[in-house]
């Protein structure tokens, strides 16, 4: 699944392609599962002719801000992502599938064409992603229900300990809870625990203050490094656990 670093990479792609430009045409798939809480026709009507003024992201959710219109809020689901004509798509962590280079790409759910000739497509093969419209992204669900974003706003140790409290859950379950740390998924959680030298089966309330700070700093470090290389797995540090998952071989380049 695309996690924080992969979604941040998608936001950067969208920012470069879309911000400051007008959407001349918007194709929205007739999919009442992916298009959530609205209709493809309404999404098209909002997008066509809209000027994109900015992008945002919290955790695994990202959005395009539109002048005088609702924002376009997107979630990639299990296998989704952004594609452009020029960019090589990211391979997901355990994907052995051959990269699809057709255009528009297979399984597209959203295809935007801009006034300067640029194009941006969102793919979603397994239909677990979502396309939504929001007047207030940060103030309404699902974004309003998310916890802190480790790349954007790392809490202080005091705040981190307050958020943890005396929870009796195991550490990995806490990390996967999007209401705690938005954007952390399976591979990031494993990498964090490996870096922090913490057993994922330990209970949160058993951690001492030094271990909690190690955990906090490891979350920040893994997310920072992964985002810095645009989530390209071959550029992750060679000492990361990631290279030993799913039968991966050593020898990737350092970040």
DSSP for 213-244, written as a single string: HHHHHHHHHHHHHHHHTTT-GGGS-TTSGGGG
Any bridge partners for residue 57, and if so which? 62
- Residue tagged active-site, from 8, 40, 60, 93: 60
The reply to whether 60 belongs to the active site is yes
The reply to whether 167 belongs to the active site is no
- Residue tagged active-site, from 3, 6, 65, 191: 3
* Secondary structure of residue 10 in the 3-state scheme: helix
Any bridge partners for residue 25, and if so which? 113
Q: Judge whether 126 and 142 are in contact, CB under 8 Å.
A: no
Helix ranges (DSSP H) in 48-198: 157-164, 171-176, 186-196
The reply to whether 248 belongs to the active site is no
The catalytic residue positions are 2-3, 60
């Amino acid at each position: 699944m695309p996690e924080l670093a992969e979604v941040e990479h998608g936001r950067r792609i969208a920012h470069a392609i879309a911000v400051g430009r007008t959407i001349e045409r918007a194709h929205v798939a007739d999919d009442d599962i992916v298009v959530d809480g609205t209709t493809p026709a309404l999404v098209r009507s909002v997008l066509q002719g809209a000027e994109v003024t900015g992008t945002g992201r919290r955790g695994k959710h990202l959005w395009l801000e539109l002048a005088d219109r609702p924002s376009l809020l997107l979630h990639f689901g299990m296998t989704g992502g952004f594609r452009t004509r020029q960019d090589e798509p990211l391979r997901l962590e355990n994907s052995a599938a051959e990269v699809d280079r057709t255009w528009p790409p297979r399984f597209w759910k959203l295809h935007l064409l801009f006034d300067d000739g640029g194009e941006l497509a969102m793919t979603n093969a397994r239909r677990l992603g979502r396309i939504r419209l929001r007047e207030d992204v940060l103030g309404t669900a699902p974004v309003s229900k998310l916890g802190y974003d480790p790349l954007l706003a790392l809490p202080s140790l005091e705040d981190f300990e307050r958020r943890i409290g005396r929870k009796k859950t195991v550490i990995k379950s806490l990390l996967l809870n999007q209401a705690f740390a938005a954007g952390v998924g399976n591979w990031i959680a494993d990498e964090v625990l490996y870096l922090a030298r913490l057993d994922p089966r330990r209970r949160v309330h058993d951690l001492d203050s030094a271990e909690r700070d190690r955990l906090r700093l490891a979350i920040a470090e893994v997310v920072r490094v992964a985002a810095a290389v645009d989530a390209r797995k071959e550029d992750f540090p060679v000492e990361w656990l990631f290279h030993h998952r799913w039968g991966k071989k050593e020898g990737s380049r350092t970040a």
